[in-house]
Chains A and B, each alone.
Chain A
Amino acid sequence: MINASPVINILSLSRFPIYNQLVLEEAILRGTTENWCIINDGAFCPAIVMGISGRASELIQVPEAIKAGVQVVKRFTGGGTVVVDHDTIFTTLIVQGQSLPHVDPYPQPIMKWTEGFYEPVFKSFGEFRLKENDYVFQQQKFGGNAQAITGKRWLHHTSFLWDYRAESMSLLKQPKKAPAYREGRSHEHFIVRLKDFVSERSAITEGIIEACSKSGFIPEVRNLTDAAKALQGSNKICGTKLVDLTTALQQPQ
């Protein structure tokens, strides 16, 4: 018996606010059973996005961030803290387990699969691989990722750095835990800009849509109205929150 290829809904956005994107993603993850690939080519405004266990007082230069007026969001997935803006390309894969029966719904098998998913997108630009759970060219990181798993359904989202500003990165404290391959390097030597490897942003966004077909899905183009139906569902769980930094200011730095 030949199984039909699963459908994946493609939603292409540009300059969509990251807070709204995360709320939408979580609603789709928890409230629907469809597969989605969401691409947001740039955030609407700069923001700092922490993982589910993040504490602003430990991860952010709070007084400087307040002065900069940057939005701070705590997301519903694991992982670390990122600074995002219009030069960040976001990609989110939301997958129903039965669509990929050979991928166990646990962190390492999922990331092994996503490494294979992104390989055709990036391999022509550099020596691409997943290294200690980061997307890298050789030893330099260009994309941070995080996941949420609910039963056999999972979400894997990535922020790819087309470009970044050193002054924005300076709003983050050095994390207590860093991957071994970082070897104590500063941000400037550890993270690379995709624009230094790829001539056009569209090469990445279009490559990701092609990767959906190469991974055995049938892509179907959707719009924001289609996706937003998930927000009307009965799911009440929402782990995405805006963070009030003035509260963090009162905590030990």
Chain B
Amino acid sequence: MALRNTALALASVGLRPNVPSIFCSLLASRSFASVETGYLYAKSHEWAKVDGDVATVGISDHAQAELGDVVYVELPDIGKTFSAGETFGVVESVKAASDVYAPISGEVLEVNSELKDKPATINADPYKSGWIMKVKVTNKGDLSKLLDAKAYEKRNRALSSESSACWAIQNLSREE
């Protein structure tokens, strides 16, 4: 469906609707990133699993796939407080240090110290053993701004189509 729509979009701006194979694989790989029901997701691809006043936080399967092999995680200090949307740590992969953002406001109660020696756990199991921190939630209103699994998945598919179409237009227009 996404491929067909993109082909139509390309044709409408006078470009050949031939879709390079890499474009297809880009769409395919993003479409298969998993989501976990019962979790809430930020648009910046972090997740929060709330249990009473405590939320466990990590990054989504989509994020770990895009980042590549994680080689280092900078964990926050216990006791530190963050507002929703604030940088709480850094994940290093493929020579890049990428900020990760608190999906909700809270105080850090615990960090996943396993990630110090095994940072690739985030790639292998982003929703369970790859958790990054646990926080005491200080503003439950933040939860209403997060997406449930279905909405997050739908958003990712839409962004993936848009991004791949952008790429295709950029590269096809070079060939013209």
Question: What is the interface of chain A, defined by CB distance below 8 A to chain B?
Answer: 51-53, 76-80, 101-102, 104, 106-108, 110-111, 133, 145-151, 237, 239
B114 within 8 Å of A by Cβ?
no
From known contacts A76-B97, A151-B44, infer whether A101 and B92 are also in contact, taking CB-CB under 8 Å: no
User: A110–B67 Cα gap in the complex (Å)?
Assistant: 11
Q: B158 → chain A, closest Cβ, in Å?
A: 14
Q: With A108-B68, A151-B99 as known contacts, state yes or no: A133 contacts B166, CB within 8 Å.
A: no
User: Is there contact, CB below 8 Å, between A237 and B87?
Assistant: yes
A-chain residues with CB within 8 Å of residue B166 when the two chains form the complex: 101-102
B34 close to chain A: CB less than 8 A: no
CB < 8 Å neighbour of B90 from A52, A80, A107, A133:
A52
Given contacts A53-B92, A107-B68, contact A77 B97 (CB under 8 A): yes
Give complex CA distance A77, B132 in Å.
20
Given contacts A52-B72, A102-B169, contact A149 B66 (CB under 8 A): no
Contact of A107 with B96 in the complex, beta carbons under 8 Å: yes
Looking at the complex, which one of A53, A78, A148, A237 makes contact with B94 (CB distance below 8 Å)?
A78
User: Contacting B97 at CB < 8 Å: which of A52, A102, A111?
Assistant: A52
- 6 A-B pairs, CB-CB below 8 angstroms? A78-B97, A79-B96, A102-B166, A102-B169, A107-B93, A108-B68
Q: How far is the CB of B152 from chain A (nearest CB, A)?
A: 17
A contact face: mostly helix, strand, loop, or mixed: loop
Q: Which residues on the B side are within 8 Å of A149 (C-beta)?
A: 96-99
Given contacts A78-B92, A147-B95, is CB(A106)–CB(B74) below 8 Å?
A: no
Q: How far is the CB of B42 from chain A (nearest CB, A)?
A: 11
Q: Is B163 an interface residue (CB 8 A)?
A: yes
The residues of A that contact B95 with a CB separation of less than 8 Å are 51, 77-80, 107, 133, 145-147
Cα distance A182–B72 when bound, in Å?
A: 23
- Say yes or no: is B32 at the interface (Cβ < 8 Å to chain A): no
Rounded to whole angstroms, the CA-CA distance of A148 and B92 in the bound complex is 9
Once the chains are docked, how many angstroms separate the CA of A237 from the CA of B74? 13
Does B146 have its Cβ within 8 Å of any Cβ on chain A? no
Residue of B67, B71, B94, B97 touching A239 (CB-CB under 8 A): B97
Residue B170, interface by CB 8 Å: yes
Known contacts A150-B87, A237-B87; A106/B97 CB under 8 A: no
Is B96 a contact partner of A147 (Cβ separation < 8 A)? yes
Interface centre among A51, A104, A111 (most CB of B within 10 A): A104
